[in-house]
Amino acid sequence: MNKLAIATAAAAFALNSVHSAPLPEAAADEVGVSQQRLAKLDEFFAREIASKRVPGAVIAIARDGKLIHYKAYGQLDPVKGSPMRLDALFALASMTKPMVAVAGLILMEEGRLPLHAKLTDYYPEFANMKVAVPQHDGSLIFQTQSSAIYIHDLYRHTTGLTYGAPDSSDQVARLYPGFADPPLRGDKQAFIEAITKLPLAHQPGTEFEYGFSTDVLGAVIEQGQRTAIGRLSHPQSMEAHQNTRCHFPFVGMATRAPRASIFRRTR
C-alpha cells in the first residue's frame, strides 16, 4: 500500500529545527512520485500567495517514511516582510474542536461525562440565560429556556450559543464577542461568567449554530476532571514525536516562537 502523508501549514505544531529534516530524505522519483507533478505545488502556492488568500505555508510530503518535499512558501509576517520559516507555528483554530470532542467522548465511554447530563450540573449559571427572539422592528424580546442545555448539545452545536460579529445583520451575533477577543482569554470562570450574561440565539436543542459550544465543553471537561483541557486533548502522536510541538492555548506561548500570520476574512 502506498503511504503518502501530507502535513500542511494549518496546524499549531512545527518542526523544532530549521536545519534538520523530520524524516530521512529522498528524491521523489526514488519512491515513485512524479517530480513534475510535485512541482505544481510551487505554482499553486505562488497563485495563492499572489491572490492574498494565504500569506504563506509550510509543506512536508513523505512517502514510505521518506521526505520528498519540505519547503516554506511566502511570508511569516506580511506586515514585517519576514519570510516563512520551516519551524513556523500555525494556529489550529477550530481544528481544536475535534480534539476537545474526542477528549469528552473518551470520558463519556468511561462513564464520567454522560451525554444526557445537564450543562447546569457543571455550571449552574447557564440556567439563567434567556433566549433572544428578534422582532421586525429590530428589537429583541427574551424568553426563558424551553429545555435545558444537555452535554450532547455541546457536541452538536445546538446549545443556542453563537460567535460574535460586530457588523452582522443578526442582532444576537452583535452582542457576542468574537471567538478570539481579548476578554475571553482569561481564566475559565471568567469566560463562563461572561458568556452566561448573554442571550442564546435559539432555544436549546432546536437549531445548529456554530459558536462557543465546544469552548464550553472544554470548560466542562476541566471542571469535571480538575485538569487543564490541553493535558486531556493534547494529540498523543504530536507529544510522542520529538520533532513537533503543540501548545494549548496558542495565545499563551512564548513570544520568541515564530508564529505565522493569517489573513482575516472580511464580511
pLDDT in tens, 16-71: 344 478 899 999 999 999 999 999 999 999 999 999 999 999 999 999 999 999 99
Q: What is the pLDDT of residue 92?
A: 78
Instruction: For the full predicted model, state whether its pTM sits above 0.85.
Output: no
* Residue 37: how many other CB atoms lie within 10 Å: 9
**Nearest-5° angle of CA 203, CA 98, CA 167?**
50
The answer to whether residues 165 and 267 touch, using CB atoms and an 8 Å cutoff, is yes
> Which architecture, in CATH terms, is 95-231?
3-Layer(aba) Sandwich (3.40)
Using alpha carbons only, give the angle 30, 34, 38 rounded to the nearest 5 degrees. Answer: 115
In whole angstroms, give the CA distance from residue 174 to residue 143: 18
pLDDT tens-digit map of 145-165: 999 999 999 999 999 999 988
- 228-267 tens-digit pLDDT: 655 555 444 344 444 445 554 444 444 455 778 766 554 4
Nearest-angstrom CA–CA distance, 53 and 267: 15
pLDDT at 84: 94
Q: Give the residue range(s) of CATH 3.40.710.10 domains in the chain.
A: 95-231
Question: Given this model, what pLDDT does residue 227 score?
Answer: 60
| Mean of per-residue pLDDT scores for the chain | 81
Place 188 in a pLDDT band, splitting at 50, 70 and 90: confident
151 φ, ψ (degrees, to nearest 5): -60, -35
DSSP state of 91: -
| Cβ contact 112:96 at 8 Å | no
User: Can you give the pLDDT at residue 260?
Assistant: 80
Q: What is the pLDDT of residues 64-122, one digit of tens each?
A: 999 999 999 999 999 899 999 998 988 777 888 998 999 999 999 999 999 999 999 99
- Confidence at residue 89, expressed as pLDDT on a 0 to 100 scale: 87
Picking from 134-148, 172-186, 207-221, which range would have the lowest pLDDT averaged per residue? 172-186
Strands 56-63, 66-77: pairing is antiparallel
Catalytic residue positions, numbered: 94
d(CA 215, CA 164): 14
